[in-house]
Amino acid sequence: MSLWALMLVCGLVTFLIRYSFIAAEGHYEPPGWFVRLLPFVPVAALTALTVPELLLVDGAIALGRDNPRFWAGLVAVAIAAAWRNTLLTIGGGFAVFFLLRHA
């Protein structure tokens, strides 16, 4: 199968999966426990994407001074919890990362 055919098939499968939720709107009522858990999906997805990037260095968990991403992420989480300000969180995390990386 050529690369273009593979990309078209993958695009079609993705479209059909997403369209199925739109087409089912009003015809299907998910269980209550499922609806209650939906708000946690973005948090879980973001955590699954960011935690490995913060903790792993060359495939091994690194929590020491040699991993500035971990400490910058920890500071960013603390800032976000304390002030709930996105710009301050990003700026504080980047500042700590820069200081540890170039110190």
pLDDT in tens, 12-22: 999 999 999 89
pLDDT in tens, 20-55: 989 988 898 999 999 999 999 999 999 999 999 999
Q: Residue by residue, what is the 3-state secondary structure of the chain?
A: CCHHHHHHHHHHHHHHHHHHHHHCCCCCCCCHHHHHHHHHHHHHHHHHHHHHHHHEECCEECCCCCCHHHHHHHHHHHHHHHHCCHHHHHHHHHHHHHHHHHC
List the chain domain ranges. 1-30, 38-102
